[in-house]
Amino acid sequence: MSGGPLIVQSDKTLLLEIDHPDAQSCRMAIAPFAELERSPEHVHTYRLTPLGLWNARAAGHDAEGVVDALLKYSRYPVPHALLVDVAETMDRYGRLQLANDPAHGLVLRALDRVVLVEVAKSKKLAGMLGNRIDDDTIAVHPSERGRLKQALLKLGWPAEDLAGYVDGEAHPIELAEAGKDGGKPWTLRSYQREAVEAFWAGGSGVVVLPCGAGKTLVGAAAMAEAKATTLILVTNTVAGRQWKRELIARTSLTEEEIGEYSGERKEIRPVTIATYQVLTSRKKGVFTHLDLFGARDWGLVVYDEVHLLPAPIFRFTADLQARRRLGLTATLVREDGREGDVFSLIGPKRYDAPWKDIESQGWIAPAECVEVRVTLTDAERMSYATAEAEERYRMAATARTKLPVVRALVDRHPDEQTLVIGAYIDQLHQLGEYLDAPIVQGSTTNKERERLFDAFRTGEIRTLVISKVGNFSIDLPEAAVAIQVSGTFGSRQEEAQRLGRVLRPKADGRQAHFYTVVSRDTIDTEYAAHRQRFLAEQGYAYTIVDADDVLGPTLPTVD
């Protein structure tokens, strides 16, 4: 029995004991084929999934290597059945290939005739396959490339896409690492460089980096690699403007070369930044802005925040299979479980780094996460107890008792830029009044938002109250403290995003603070526990304190 750091479980999870001396080399060995699922402080959990194994196969790893790695590092005997299953699963990838035939165009080619016969009979593929060219080849209409890949993945026979990419319309783009317009010289960080290289080698795929780790630069570097017209899809206008600012500062691109395609402006330029919202808006049931995809011969499509990609975008993406696609995200976890669509339509995961690793490399700020439990007043408890089920969360989350606690927390960090994040507008207004701080919410105009954010960046405003609009893609570099008072029920990725607000590296490397204020003994606590689970699994240990500890010594009471 070897004393390896890895324990292979029969449910295909791998437990890696990270204090073990071989842990680092084991991590390197299993990272290509196992998905990191949880990384708490002592034992990281990886999972062997068909997707992960196929990812590894796509990257050129074979089953023998995977089995060897498992056997080499495993502390205990590995069940024979699991090894057989791994080998069989990996063997399924690439039995079918999508390729360009000089005579027949796009074809589905089989290395195993039986598999082709099996899938050709499937009802799910009806209408996607064209004429049978010979025993091993079936013609595929180019427009079905994406849908066919989706369907084949569902059938468990993922096709290897060897059909290649069109180069698109060439456009010179360079990284301005020497500094631009008098800016300081800079270089891509090592992991950003690795991510871009991995993406470019694979052709299409997703790069997973934590918030604040510089995903925008990965996108910019990929564009510099492609040197072609680029379509960038972002979550909202503010995020789009931030991309634009970053691109102008970090690349050879000028303001004139970058277009904004949003609710306000409809510019199509060599580099165009569009929002998901405008693309998915429809009039009379028809998507009106689909022309954008065909407006130019795009050489690269960048998807920001892939985990939020709305379902219609998947459908459009299915038609874009001949273009290089880069997905950027902090997490592949999707609340709707459509990870498989990301895999088949945008591409396999090309780069992933554990958050904690990047943090220990010093790129993102260390964070202290604290959950503050507030005891409701008797009156509040009574009204909570008798409230309708659907009103309960709102009742608990917006309890007035939270206000003084929030103020105490804000006062704790008098010199820090502080964000107060909530989901309920009424509560935000209360907070705004109580803390005497401006509010950014959905109805705030973009101009006003920009002004407030600028003021916050410069330190003119110290505390900002933001609604759900602040969940995504706003750049608040010096926010060091975030206090969340309410959220979208138990959404885990919302929690991750909000933490991301304070993880951007601080100029002096000081610690970031993330507070969650919850009402004790209510459904609020349960939802908070669910949201935190994601971060706890990423290794951010929560400390739970009572509100009384925050509020300071209690007043002496008289018995």
Partner 1 sequence: MSTSLADHLRSLSDESLAALLQLRPDLVVPVPADVAALAIRAQSRVSVSRALDGLDQFTLQILDAARLTRDPADGTTSVDGVLALATAGPNPPAPTTIRAAVDRLRARFLLYGPDNALRLVGGIDEISPYPAGLGRPATELDARTAALCADPAKLRRTLLSAPPSARAILDRLAAGPPVGSVPPGALQAPAIGADDDLPPDDTNGGAPTGSPVRWLVDHRLLVRVSGGKNGTNGMVELPREVGLLLRRETGPLGPLRSSPPQVTATVREPKAADSAGAGQTMEVVRHTEALLEQLAAEPALVLRSGGIGVRDLRRLVRATGLDEPTAALLLEVAYAAGLAGELELPGVAGRYGADQQVLPTAGYEVWRAGSLAQRWEQLARAWLTMTRQVGLVGQRDDRDRPITVLSAEAERAGAPAARQAVLGVLADLEPASAPSVDEVLALLDWRAPRRSRGRENAHREVLAEAATLGVTGLGALTSYGRLLLAEATAGEEGATDDPLGLRADAEDGGSAVRVLDTLLPAPVDHFLVQADLTVVVPGPPEPALAAELELIAEPESAGGASVHRITTASVRRALDAGYSADDLQELFRRRSRTPIPQGLTYLVDDVARKHGGLRIGSAGAYLRSDDEALLAEVLADRRVEALTLRRLAPTVLVTPFQANRLISVLREAGYAPVAEDATGSTVLTKPKTRRAPARVTGATRTLDPLATPRLPLPRLLGVVEQIRRGDAAARAARRAPAVVRGASPDGPVSAHSHQDAIAVLQQAVRDKALVWVGYVDAHGATASRLVRPVSLGAGYLRAEDERTEMLHTFALHRITAAVLEK
Contacts with partner 1 by CB under 8 A lie at 1, 7-11, 13, 15, 17, 38, 40-43, 45, 71, 74-84, 521, 533, 536-537, 539-544
Residue 283, C-beta contacts closer than 8 angstroms, at least 6 positions apart:
none
Minimum distance between the CB of residue 271 and partner 1, rounded to whole angstroms? 41
- Least separation, in Å, of the C-beta of 197 and partner 1? 33
Nearer to partner 1, 87 or 268 (CB): 87
Q: Which is nearer to partner 1, 9 or 441 (CB)?
A: 9
Residue 351 or 534: which CB sits closer to partner 1?
534
Q: Which is nearer to partner 1, 18 or 223 (CB)?
A: 18
Cα 31 to Cα 352: distance, rounded to the nearest angstrom = 9
Which CB sits closer to partner 1, 352 or 537? 537
Nearer to partner 1, 162 or 541 (CB): 541
Q: In the complex, what is the shortest distance from the CB of residue 534 to partner 1, in angstroms, rounded to a whole number? A: 9
| Least Å from the CB of residue 160 to partner 1 | 28
**542, containing H or E segment:** strand 542-546
534's enclosing H/E stretch is helix 523-537
Go through the chain and tell me how many residues it has.
Answer: 559
Closer CB to partner 1, residue 70 or residue 273? 70
Of 17 and 197, which CB lies nearer to partner 1 in the complex structure? Answer: 17
Q: For the CB of residue 264, give the shortest distance to partner 1 in the complex, in Å.
A: 43
- Closest by CA to 487, choosing from 501, 474, 471, is 471
| Nearer Cβ to partner 1 (276/534) | 534
Shortest gap between Cβ of 81 and partner 1 (angstroms)?
Answer: 6
Whole-angstrom distance, CA of residue 246 vs CA of residue 189: 16
Residue 243: both structure tokens together = 């991309």
Question: Phi and psi at residue 282, in whole multiples of 5°?
Answer: -140, 150
- Minimum separation from the CB atom of position 58 to partner 1 (A): 26
CA dist., res. 283 & res. 260, Å (int) = 21
Give the residue among 376, 326, 323 at the shortest CA–CA distance from 349: 326
What distance in Å separates the CA atoms of residue 452 and residue 32, rounded to the nearest whole number? 44
Residue 47 CB, nearest approach to partner 1 (Å)? 10
CA separation for the pair 491, 484 (Å, rounded): 13
Nearest Cα to Cα of residue 523 among 484, 486, 483, 498: 486
CB-side exposure of 111: number of CA atoms within 13 Å? 13
Nearest to 481 by CA among 424, 547, 407, 535: 407
Least CB distance to partner 1 at residue 237 (A): 36
CB crowding 428-443: b at 16 or more within 10 Å, else e = bebbbebbebbbbbee
Distance CA 332, CA 303 (A): 13
> Which one, 13 or 446, has the nearer CB to partner 1?
13
Residue 380, token pair as written in the block: 């509040």
User: What are the φ/ψ torsions at residue 261 (nearest 5 degrees)?
Assistant: -120, 95
532: left (phi over 0), alpha (psi -120 to 50) or beta: alpha
C-alpha 100/C-alpha 105 separation (Å) is 5
Q: Is 305 left (phi over 0), alpha (psi -120 to 50) or beta?
A: left
Q: How far is the CB of 8 from partner 1 (least distance, A)?
A: 6
- The residue among 71 and 322 lying less far from partner 1, judged by its C-beta, is 71
In angstroms, give the least distance from the CB of 520 to partner 1.
8
